[in-house]
Amino acid sequence: MLVLGIETSCDETAASVVEDGRWVRSDVVSSQIKIHAEYGGVVPEVASRQHVATIVPVLRRAADEAAIQLADLDGIAVTAGPGLVGALLVGVETAKALGYALGKPVIGVNHLAGHLAAVFLADRLPDAATPSPPPPIPPDPHLALLVSGGHTALIRVDGPGATTLLGATRDDAAGEAFDKVGKMLGLGYPGGVAIDRLAATGNPNAFTLPRALPRRDDLDFSFSGLKTAVSVMLQGRAPPEGQELADFAASFQAAVVGVLCRKSRRAIALQGIPHLVVCGGVAANRGLRTGLAAAAAEDGFQLYIPPPKRCTDNAAMIAAAGTRLLARGDRAGLDLSVDPGLPL
Ligand code: KG4
Ligand code: ZN
């Protein structure tokens, strides 16, 4: 089954062709980061306009790189929420127009379900010399730590679409905290990647920052206190530079990673499920990947983390999640709309 995925929920215009919900035949992501960096964050109206300008060339490239004709497709999967309303509309209207013109079924996909499905994907690009070995598939039930710019949650997954929220952030998402602290440190937008890079050469014990664990026993998160602590530390002093900046980045990252690891281990113990999927943009963070790998070795659970390019927003994950829905007969009508606050 050949499915085209379309993703335009935020600041990436992406299209991808995926075979049988697992094999990535093409994966095109056009990032608007440079455009929004000028404003220090994503400007919704600018994002929508940019999606309009980019969506058709991105779709064409996805079909070309997969070496298929659009007529070869078995269906189209598109992000219907959550996200920015104007940005989502560009993807959804394009998908419906394409589905109507080609006579192909269309399905709306929850962006968060897409992140959860990224772990099933394996590269099979037509020009790849050696196809990558397929990653192991997590059994159901499994747990998922979803850490992105808008969400931080621990989820129990009993099957496609059968999810239970075990805990979530009470304030900022982990990615949001990375981005806000990045801004405070003068690292531009988005701060997550810059902090990750700096942290590699910094001392994580150089600065003492709070590790907020709201009610130690539950599975909720809170990052606003940490953000405030950083802001207070930076007040009335020269901005850190050089090694001190790296130390600061490493200390902040260690505080976030510490909380994420601790709550994930707690979820595994409470649920008695030794399989943890990690997804969302922050799952690309090297400190988090290393921290969770160490926890997995110590506690004896299986860890499943997609490669960094499939942690951040992409359309292959939307195609993967959409394939499962299309395969069981789900179809969207021409009245498919967007829902900026769509829950998982
Ligand atoms: O999943 P994603 O691409 O978009 C959303 O659905 O939100 O996540 C974007 C978030 C941003 O906050 C970005 O700073 C963060 O993921 N991020 C990272 C890294 N790469 C992306 N945070 C920490 N370390 C990284 N390497
Ligand atoms: Zn995302």
Q: Do both 90 and 210 map to the same domain?
A: no
Pairing of β 152-159 and β 162-168: antiparallel
Q: 153 in helix, strand or coil? A: strand
Q: Do residues 160 and 119 lie in contact, with contact meaning Cβ atoms separated by under 8 Å? A: no
149 shares its domain with 298? yes
Tell me, yes or no, whether 83 and 105 share the same domain. yes
Element (H, E) at 327: helix 316-327
In this structure, the answer to whether residues 196 and 279 fall within a common structural domain is: yes
- Counting every residue, how long is the chain? 344
Query: Is 0.85 surpassed by the pTM of this model?
Result: yes
Ligand 1 atom showing the smallest separation from residue 191 Cα:
14
Distance 29 CA to ligand 2 centre (A): 13
* Domain interval for residue 148: 142-305
- Considering the domain boundaries, does residue 136 fall inside one? no
Atom of ligand 1 nearest to the CA of 9: 6
**343 part of a folded domain:** no
Ligand 1 proximity of 83 Cβ (cutoff 6 Å): no
Selection from 253, 312, 263, 262 nearest residue 283 by Cα? 312
Structural domain total, the chain:
2
Residue in 183, 195, 160, 167 with CA at minimum distance from that of residue 284: 195
Looking at the CA of 194, name the nearest ligand: 1
| Residues 167 and 283 placed together within one structural domain of the fold | yes
Together in a domain, 80 and 196: no
Q: What is the whole-number distance in angstroms between the Cα of residue 212 and the centre of ligand 2?
A: 24
Q: What is the pLDDT along the chain (344 residues), one digit of tens a residue?
A: 999 999 999 999 999 999 999 999 999 999 999 999 888 889 999 999 999 999 999 999 999 999 999 999 999 999 999 999 999 999 999 999 999 999 999 999 999 999 999 999 999 866 666 666 788 999 999 999 999 999 999 999 999 889 999 999 999 999 999 999 999 999 988 899 999 999 999 999 999 998 877 667 799 999 999 999 999 999 989 999 999 999 999 999 999 999 999 999 999 999 999 999 999 999 999 999 999 999 999 999 999 999 999 999 999 999 999 999 999 999 999 999 999 999 99
181 in contact with ligand 1, CB cutoff 6 A: no
Residue 81 near residue 114 (C-beta atoms within 8 A): no
| Dihedral over alpha carbons 264, 268, 269, 272 (to 10 degrees) | 170
Same domain assignment for residues 60 and 160: no
| 144 CA distance to ligand 1 middle (Å) | 16
